[in-house]
Chains A and B, each alone.
Chain A
Amino acid sequence: MREKHIGLGIFTFLVFVFLLGPLLIISVTSFEQGTVLKFPPESFSLDWYKNIFEVSGFLETFKVSIYLSLAGNLLALLIGIPAAYALNRFDFKGKALLEGIFVSPIIIPGIVLGFTFLRFFITYYQLPIYAGLFIGHTVIMLPFIIRVVSSSLANFDFSIEEAAVSLGASRIGTFFKVVLPNIKSGIIAGVLIAFLESFNNVDISVFMTGPGVSTLPIEMLTYVQNYFDPTIAALSVVLMIITALFMFFVERLLGLSYFTKR
């Protein structure tokens, strides 16, 4: 089955041109000196990269996005690791229902989540807007943490835990000394994936931003709707580099099969 099929190869190549071409084009245009996006660029400069720092808001909201992802991750880990552990370790009545609840933030449309969060967190529960953002982002990160940690635990041999207990370790001690060290890479990968999920999120944040409170994707969205210069292209390149780094680490930790297994 290994013989090459020329037609299929060309077709696939064109699919990749479609997928990656646009990203390549904005990367190249980000080095254009003029104020209009041109391809191929007629000159070379890093002015637009400098402009990222000069446009008020980008640096600010970049920080907000990072804090938000980190804080959300922390809470999602605190909630998600015990849940993933229990779901993999024990038999439950209604296990399917519980698993369903934990994946539901992926299934429910993001825009619907965003709207209900606005309506309930801010208006009904009277939470400060940053708290609303924080909880909203935690909700959408939780399924990713649980999914990745669960797949690590699925490969974990729980008799190791029994070995530790039989040697005198307590239940909690066993978890920290024996279970946690062995699912460490899964946890780190889960954090990275959840981080990207939160960092790139528009659907939730778009409802909970306003004057003075914004995240980077929302700031970019607003900027693009009003201006059309290579600043966003330059910023996109920066984000793509971050994405590539994250992908590299996730691949190292989990392998590509994480992405293809469903």
Chain B
Amino acid sequence: MRNYYKYLLILPGVLFLTIFMLVPIGMTIISTFFPNEAAADTSNYASLFRDSYFLEILWTTLRVSILTTIICMVLGFPAAYFIARMSAKMKAVLLILTIFPLLTSPVVRSFSWMVIIGRNGLVNEALMGIGIIQEPLEILYTPTAVIIGLVHLFLPLTIITLVGVMESIESDLLTAAASLGASRIGVFAKVVLPLCVPGLVIGGILVFVGSFTAYTTPALLGGQQRVLSTLLYQNANTLNDWHMASILAAIMIVVTLIVITCMNLLANKLNPRR
């Protein structure tokens, strides 16, 4: 009796997600191989990967995501290290200050950067005011603006993930390393850093995948500069080219799944605690 009871509890959720998510996603991917309800056909993909417009957008998306990931790591790791070593009270305050932007609407956060880096924004006003530049800098509606916005979007996630990992490093380990003669830098390099590697990898996946597929930030800060997600939206809603939109969706899913699988394997492999 127990047996079917437990499946009964889980059935509604599985059914719901199957009907409303798994089937639509699966059908979307399958449909990309049947452009004219005829035989299977991969020529769409082939011609897409010869299309220079698409390749340029793909390259921009990849470049933006990779740079965002690197910048998040470079800014996030030291900050997380600092936060993790604070007293409990101070740590709580800093974490709250990190989590707050994380929970704030992405529209609000992208908008705030439009105010700052826009043509008449704060940065240009200030720079022109003190006479460093005569003409306003064109930052908004460039890939740079998108990177700034995405770093702002994903840095909190990076920091809290890394703080979580660093907190799980027992302080006895650090004391032990120091008592065995390691210097402060030695403790960091030989103990803290290796134990943080899985966290860095996981944080990295989250930021990369998030940036690769983010919509709001490039839509607001990228202007005419398309990335994959805005291209997908344009094809689906403006151009009504659902076949192209489906192909783009399939590419995004495949890339996401490949990256997540690879990085999961990597995180396990690099985990020194095994």
Interface of A toward B, CB cutoff 8 Å? 1-2, 5, 8-9, 11-12, 15-16, 18-20, 22-23, 25-26, 29, 36-37, 39, 78-80, 82-83, 85-87, 89-90, 92, 98, 101-102, 104-105, 107-121, 124, 135-136, 138-139, 142, 146, 171, 196, 199-200, 202-203, 206-207, 217, 220-221, 224-225, 228, 232-233, 236, 239-240, 243-244, 246-247, 251, 256, 259-262
User: Can you name 18 A-B pairs with beta carbons within 8 Å?
Assistant: A8-B81, A16-B94, A22-B115, A39-B122, A79-B12, A83-B10, A104-B21, A109-B256, A111-B215, A120-B23, A124-B24, A139-B20, A202-B107, A220-B111, A256-B99, A259-B99, A259-B160, A260-B160
* Cβ-defined partner of A240 (8 Å) among B6, B24, B108, B242: B108
- Closest chain-B Cβ to A218's Cβ sits at a distance in Å of 9
Tell whether B22 is near chain A: CB-to-CB under 8 Å.
yes
**0/1 interface trace, chain B 136-160, chain A, CB 8 Å (1 if under):** 0000000000000000100110011
Question: Interface extent on B, as a size class?
Answer: 35 or more
Across the interface, which residues of A come within 8 angstroms of B159, CB to CB? 15
- Closest chain-A Cβ to B186's Cβ sits at a distance in Å of 13
Beta-carbon contact of B233 and A206 below 8 Å: yes
Beta-carbon contact of B237 and A121 below 8 Å: no
Tell whether B252 is near chain A: CB-to-CB under 8 Å.
yes
* Cβ-defined partner of A207 (8 Å) among B22, B75, B209, B237: B237
Beta-carbon contact of B213 and A247 below 8 Å: no
Across the interface, which residues of B come within 8 angstroms of A251, CB to CB? 96
* Chain A residue with the shortest CB-CB distance to B28: A116
How far does the alpha carbon of A199 sit from the alpha carbon of B245 in the complex, in Å?
A: 26
How far does the alpha carbon of A136 sit from the alpha carbon of B20 in the complex, in Å?
A: 8
Beta-carbon contact of A83 and B101 below 8 Å: no
Other A-B pairs, 18, CB within 8 Å; known A116-B25, A119-B24: A8-B81, A9-B82, A22-B109, A22-B112, A25-B116, A82-B13, A83-B10, A105-B17, A109-B253, A111-B215, A111-B229, A112-B28, A112-B253, A142-B16, A202-B215, A221-B216, A224-B114, A256-B99
Tell whether B200 is near chain A: CB-to-CB under 8 Å.
no
Beta-carbon contact of B152 and A19 below 8 Å: yes
How far does the alpha carbon of A115 sit from the alpha carbon of B242 in the complex, in Å?
A: 9
* Cβ-defined partner of A101 (8 Å) among B17, B118, B252: B17
How far does the alpha carbon of A105 sit from the alpha carbon of B18 in the complex, in Å?
A: 11
Beta-carbon contact of A247 and B111 below 8 Å: no
Across the interface, which residues of A come within 8 angstroms of B85, CB to CB? 1-2
**A119, A247, A251 interface centre (most CB from chain B within 10 Å):** A119
Q: Contacts A82-B12, A102-B13, A221-B220 given: A243-B202 contact, CB under 8 Å? A: no
Beta-carbon contact of B236 and A115 below 8 Å: yes
* Chain B residue with the shortest CB-CB distance to A127: B20
The 9 closest A-B pairs by CB, nearest first: A109-B213, A22-B112, A260-B164, A83-B13, A120-B24, A86-B9, A82-B9, A116-B24, A236-B108
